[in-house]
Amino acid sequence: MKRRCVVCLTQRIGDLVRIQIQPAEIIKEKKEMGLKDIMGMAMGGDMEKMQKKLQQEAVLMQSPDLITIPYDEWKKYGYKLDDIVIVTLEQEE
């Protein structure tokens, strides 16, 4: 499975570099909601679904992933803050 992520932090630790990433889908523009939108959601029962979704996004934003790579590899690709990277997740057998 491949996942688009944004680089949030890079930190050199000896001959390794730790890269902190967050899923790119979470970073999006805020949608302004008016009173009419909120009342419509409350009447339709969607308020609870929206609240759960916002809670899940908040948890993901507060627990970013860490990847550690060799310094030479980091130097080769030059990962910087706000770079978009593709992370491939594979299950080990």
pLDDT per position as a tens digit, 10-22: 999 999 999 988 8
**Which stretches in the chain have pLDDT values below 50?**
none
Q: Which amino acid is at 30?
A: K
Q: Is 24 left (phi over 0), alpha (psi -120 to 50) or beta?
A: alpha
Q: Which amino acid is at 55?
A: Q
Return d(Cα 44, Cα 12) in angstroms, integer: 50
What confidence score (pLDDT) does residue 86 get? 87
What confidence score (pLDDT) does residue 36 get? 67
Domain borders along the chain are 2-88
Summarised one tens digit per residue, pLDDT across range 47-59 is 677 777 777 766 6
